[in-house]
Amino acid sequence: MPKTKALAAPASKESPARKRAKPVVRSASAVSRRLRQIEDKRSAILGAALGLFSRFGLHGTSIDQVAARADVSKSNLLYYFANKEELYVNVLRDLLALWLEPLRGFSAEQDPSQAIGDYIRRKLVISRDRPDASRLFCLEMIQGAPLLRDELDRELRTLVERKSEVIAAWVAAGKLAPVDPQHLIYALWAITQHYADFGVQVQALSGHTLDDEAFFERTVENVQRIVLQGITPR
């Protein structure tokens, strides 16, 4: 009898849906690593932008300059921020969050002298460690805050109103001398940020900057004394 040839198995037919690429399933650690990479890149861009915007302003800084300083391509930068104005606003929002964080801790249950003394120290630390941030915020205010007006009308106003109520409660309880809460907040901002916004003048007159540890501690002590002796009950 003639040998019969083995029949070849019919080729399996996949539906078009099965032929489509299967989704890549990433592990939790891979996702976390990717998110960190994204955040690190975004932080690098914001840091580079802050350094340039604080020196040259919005109009004196180009996207190309920021990309070069952040060591990323221009197209990569524009993946994170659509344009220079969006980048600038994000820098300002980060600064506002940093600037306001020490004020958020005020509560009526605290001892006001301790709370305000700690606030002065924390604000001077920001002036020492992030002088470019303070200077950029000051520049934006001088220009009328054209790109930050909405943030000021919402977040800043709400926070100041809440913390003014805390200060008013301290006054009503006899823990502070009669003082207008908002004017006290303005004074605290002015005196602590002076050492960043006018750092060159401070150095020219005193021969020191806040980077000098001994000068920093003397500054904290003197600002605390000036403020607290003026607002504590007698």
Range 123-137 average pLDDT? 91
More confident call, 229 vs 13: 229
- What would the pLDDT profile of 146-194 be if each residue is shown by its tens digit? 878 877 888 889 999 999 999 999 999 999 999 999 999 999 999 999 9
Q: What is the pLDDT of residue 210?
A: 97
Between 213-231 and 181-197, two packed helices, what is the crossing angle to 10 degrees? 160
Give burial (CB, 10 Å; 0-12/13-18/19+) of 81: buried
Q: Tokens standing for 103?
A: 């004020």
- The pTM for the full model equals 0.77
Q: Residue 97's pLDDT is what?
A: 86
| Structure-block tokens of residue 157 | 């106003």
| Gap between the Cα atoms of 100 and 226, Å rounded | 22
Give helix 199-206 / helix 181-197 axis angle, nearest 10°.
70
Greater confidence, 78 or 20?
A: 78
Residue with tokens 């306001």: 100
Helices (H) and strands (E) in the chain, counts: 12, 0
Tokens of 92: 């300002």
Burial class, 149, CB count within 10 angstroms (exposed 0-12 / middle 13-18 / buried 19+): exposed
Q: How far apart are alpha carbons 104 and 163 in whole angstroms? A: 8
> Where is pLDDT greater, at 19 or 171?
171
Instruction: Write down the pLDDT at residue 1.
Output: 47
In sequence order, the 6+-apart residues with CB closer than 8 A to the CB of 108 are 166, 169, 170
What is the rounded distance in angstroms from the CA atom of residue 115 to the CA atom of residue 207?
A: 30
